[in-house]
Amino acid sequence: MKLFLIAGEASGDKLGAALMAGLKELAPGVSFVGVGGPLMADEGLESLFPMEELSVMGILEVLPKYRQLKRRIAETAAAVIAAAPDALITIDSPDFCLRVARLVRATVPQQKTIHYVAPSVWAWRPGRAAKMAEVIDHVLALLPFEPPYMQAAGMSCDFVGHPVVAEPQASAAEAAAFRETYMIGPEQPLVLCLPGSRRGEVKRLGPRFDEALMQLRDREPGLRVVLPTVRGVAPLVREMTARWPVAPIVVEQAADKRAAFAAADLALAASGTVSLELAASHTPMVIAYDMAPLSRFLIGRLLKVDTVTLVNLVAETRVIPEFLGSNCRPGPIAQELLRLLEDPMRRASQMAAMAVTMERLGQGAEAPGLRAARSVLAQL
């Protein structure tokens, strides 16, 4: 069995790697080709080109790279057609992946297509599901409320759980060792700074996050900051933070990240999957995000929900504070971080929402990567 997989960013790389591991367990001898990152490479995928080329988001962010992305879409579609896989499995990154699927289907109408991560039609642009159904047969959904939206558009869909529930968590001993390694006292506040996994996000949010944390440090002089990052933006992060008045501890290795999450008292994070990673590690959080002005304006007009934080959505609560768009300003963010640090009731409310979220995402059930693999094999 040969499968062609495409992932376009760090979160998709995680999903793809877990799916590949599940498929290898259930279908020994399966082979993979496609586009992916380092985690998928560890499972045996040799990427056609660096996945980081696809990690762009927002209208103005994409425009300068449009020609290159269009060339990669055509190149990838040609590779799928040449490989003649049993299934094309596209993982998130719909702007790239679904264009590839459309080109493939135009030449090979019978090609089986599976998309991993349902589009958030419950949040904005509901018409995307119907358009996606033109080129996708089956969807693997991460959130329990998504299958009805996909089925209504004409695709089959399985809720396979979110892989965050199966990710390893650092122990209390590992968290204590992290603090000891970086000489962070048990009473010193430790804050995670998570400005995103894309270069554009880091450039836009990094300076604002730094300013918010500097204001928080004025109230908490012993404050220490750790900034976990990913391979694609690590050089940018190190260059940028070297100019910060108080440089954070930058960690890149997975074990160091897990320990940092467990050791931290709270986090300032960009909107996205990281909110679920923080929930899994029981780390209280403040979410902040912004885009280029035009992207912010257009998406703001299309948004159908009053929160974009997945913990709020899955747990059906609004206890995770958000500072989005024009509200993404250092002053208010710093004030909210301070309230969260000083108010045990705020932290307790978040902890309760995180527990509900993890249960609803499949914690304690079969690993999501294995569930996703079963769903793929059932389709084939």
Taking only the tens place, the pLDDT of each residue in 184-227 is: 999 999 999 999 888 889 999 999 999 999 999 999 999 999 99
pLDDT value for 117: 96
Q: Are 300 and 375 a contacting pair, CB within 8 Å?
A: no
Residue type, 122: W
In a domain, 166, yes or no: no
Instruction: Please state, in angstroms and as integers, the Cα–Cα distance from residue 148 to each residue in 4, 190, 314, 360, following that order.
Output: 27, 41, 16, 16
Q: Are residues 319 and 335 in the same domain?
A: yes
- Whether 324 maps to a domain, the answer reads yes
Same domain, 226 and 370: no
Both 298 and 180 in one domain: the answer is yes
Q: Is residue 109 part of a domain?
A: yes
> What does the pLDDT average to over 115-138?
88
User: What local confidence, expressed as pLDDT, does residue 233 receive?
Assistant: 87
Q: Is residue 34 part of a domain?
A: yes
pTM of the predicted model, to two decimals?
0.80
Question: 141 with 180, same domain?
Answer: no
Mean predicted lDDT score pLDDT of the chain? 92
Q: Report the range of poorest mean pLDDT among 15-19, 161-165, 179-183, 304-308.
A: 304-308
In this structure, is residue 185 part of a structural domain?
yes
Question: Between vectors from CA 23 to CA 129 and to CA 229, what angle results, nearest 5°?
Answer: 70
**Domain extent for 286:** 172-360
Same domain for 6 and 155, yes or no, is yes
Task: Using alpha carbons only, give the angle 264, 270, 272 rounded to the nearest 5 degrees.
Answer: 105
Kindly report, residue by residue over 297-352, the tens digit of the pLDDT: 766 666 767 888 999 999 999 999 999 998 999 999 999 999 999 999 999 999 99
Q: Name the CA dihedral angle for 136, 5, 87, 150, rounded to a multiple of 10 degrees.
A: -30
Same domain, 156 and 292: no
In a domain, 309, yes or no: yes
CATH of the domain at 122: 3.40.50.2000
* Count of domains forming the chain: 2
pLDDT digits (tens, 9 = 90+) for 11-27: 899 899 999 999 999 99
- Residues 340, 370 share a domain: no
Query: Could you tell me if 139 and 208 lie in one domain?
Result: no
If asked whether residues 342 and 199 sit together in one domain, one would say yes
Shared domain for 13 and 116, answered yes or no, is yes
Domain identity same for 356 and 373: no
Would residue 117 count as lying in a domain? yes
For residue 86, pLDDT beyond 50: yes
Residue 167 lies in a domain: no
